[in-house]
Each structure stands twice: as C-alpha cells, then as structure tokens.
Amino acid sequence: MTRSEALRYARTRLEEAGFPTRQAEAEARQLLESVTGVRGARFWREAQATLEPAQERLLEEALGRRAAREPLQLILGTAVFCGLELEVRPGVLVPRPETERLVELALERLPESGPARVLDVGTGSGAIALALKQARPQLEVYASEVSEGALDLARANARRLGLAVTFLHAPLTAGLADLNLIVSNPPYLPETYRKGAPAELAWEAESALYAGADGLAVARPLLAEAAGALAPGGWLLLELDPTNVHALAREARRAGFSEVAVLPDLARRARFLRARR
C-alpha cells in the first residue's frame, strides 16, 4: 500500500467511524505522517512510496484507537499549543485550542518588556506557563500542580523547549505573593455534564475536568486565595464554563475585585473571567 492509498484508506476508516469528512481527512493525514515520520510537502513528493509492514500495523492500531474515540493528541503523543509542540500523556489534560485565547488575554495584561511575576495554577502539561514564557522571556513564571505525573510531564516539556519555568508541587497559589497575574484553566465542568460528555473525555483525568455540582469547586477557593496572592493592581484570569462563569464573576465583585469582566471565546460563548485586585 502506497502512502496515497493509505491516506484514502485511513480517511474512509475514520468516516465509517462517524467522523465528518473534513475532520477524517485531516486526522488521517496526521496519523499517517506520525506513522511514517514524514511530514509536510515531502509527504506528497513521496506519496507513491510504499508503507513498510510495521508502518501498516501501526496505522491499523492508530485507526482503531481513534475509532474508539481516544483523543488524536494522545495517539500522536503531542499537541500543538500557541505554536509549541508539547508532549501529552493519558491522565493529563490535553491542551485545547480555545485555551490559546486565555494566553492572549493574559499577555494583554502583562508588560511587553520589563519583569512581572506570573502564576499558572493547575499547569497540567505546562501549556499556559510555557506559552507565556515563550512569548515574554523576561517574565518570572511559576506553575503549580497537585499531580506529580502532570508535573513530570510539564518539566519534561520545559526542558525540551528550553524554557525556564518554576514548577511547584502544590495546590492553587502555592503560598506565593506579590504576583502580577494569576492565570488558570482549572477543572470547571459541573457533574451533570458527565451524562452527555464527548467520549474523548473518558481518556482524560476526571480531576482535571469536573469540579463539583456547579463546576466551581476549584475556581471558588482559587478566587479566595488570589485576593491575598496578587499584588495590588494584579490580575486574575480564569477559563470557566458558560454555565458558571457569571456566577463566579458575581462572587469576585462581592470579594472586592474591580474591573470584573466576562469575556467570550471564539464561538462567542461566555468563557473567561477577568478581575483585578
């Protein structure tokens, strides 16, 4: 089977598994590039090259895993976030494209030059912390995480990318103070979401997804700690669910935060909370 034949076969397999044609075509290409180790224009220049038997077996295995709704990023072992290629593993939240907007919002509140102290709470794979450090090398970036496995992964990503972030095995604000910005994509899904959740979520750690009856079991104590961890004028930025972001915004106002705003994601859904100490 040539690469071009394998691409058509993989697309058909994914379509038969229920994926839309455009998605099936894109994912078939990514899986085949991963299996062959050949990417971009070179893949098409060598489209008539024959797959080795071992590559055909790997492709079959990958297609079976994707048909079972294992996230594509976990099959590939990598996810691209803000232009950074990050290693991802089962049990650690896969970085989502929509969270790139959270990084953009954070950068809007940080100096383009000069120092600032930033904390990424619940860093997971390190995506947000590393993206901020890549964009603004002068930042003093910290990242907290309660999962040792996630911290190992985040540290490995930082080493591979050559980005200096201080990782802390600690909950929430890790006892830090005088921070200029706290940013977090905490678990925020309400328990009721489990019933209709996409099958892909079953492959990720529940503790990174669900947060109590209203989805605020982590964000609410983080809001309380942020009041003491931020320097005067410092900013808090959170990614939340459209069903609970307004509720936490009201709590932020009652807690004394100023300039509280709920901001939309690219699909125009209420998604991000921004507040200032």
Per DSSP, 210 falls in state B
- Exposed e or buried b for every residue in 6-40, given b needs 16+ CB within 10 A? bbebbbebbeeeebeeeebbebbbbbbbbbbebee
Q: How confident is the model at residue 47 (pLDDT cuts 50, 70, 90)?
A: confident
C-alpha span between 10 and 59 (Å, rounded): 8
**Domain segments of the chain as ranges:** 3-68, 92-276
SS3 195: helix
Cβ neighbours, 10 Å, residue 114:
9
Q: Nearest to residue 225, comparing CAs of 184, 187, 168?
A: 184
Note the pLDDT of residue 257. 97
pLDDT in tens, 206-235: 889 999 999 999 999 999 999 999 999 999
Mean pLDDT of 106-132: 96
Instruction: Provide, rounded to the nearest whole percent, the portion of the chain with pLDDT above 70.
Output: 100
Question: Does 8 score more than 80 pLDDT?
Answer: yes
What is the fold, at CATH topology level, of the domain defined by 92-276? Rossmann fold (3.40.50)
Note the pLDDT of residue 167. 98
Mean pLDDT of 75-86: 96
